[in-house]
Structure 1
Amino acid sequence: MAETPAGGESLLFLTDENIRKGVEAMFFAYRGFTADPDRILEGMAYGRAHHRAVHFIHRSPGTTVGNLLAILGVTKQSLNRVLRSLFDDGLVEARVGKKDKRERHLYLTEKGAALERKLSDAQRARMRAAYRAAGPAAVQGFRTVLEAMMDPEQRRQYLTLKEGTA
Structure 2
Amino acid sequence: MGKIAIGDACLICPGVRISSAAEIVIADSCMMASNTFITDADWHGSYDRVRTLGCPEPVYIRENAWLGDGAIVCKGVTIGKNSIIGAGSVVVRDIPPNVIAAGNPARAVRELDPAEPMVTRASCFAETADMEGELDLMDRENLAGNSLLYWLKTVVAPGDKD
Relative to the length of structure 1, the TM-score reads 0.21
Greater strand proportion: 2
Q: Which one has the largest radius of gyration?
A: 2
Greater helix proportion: 1
Greater RCO (CA < 8 Å, at least 6 residues apart):
1
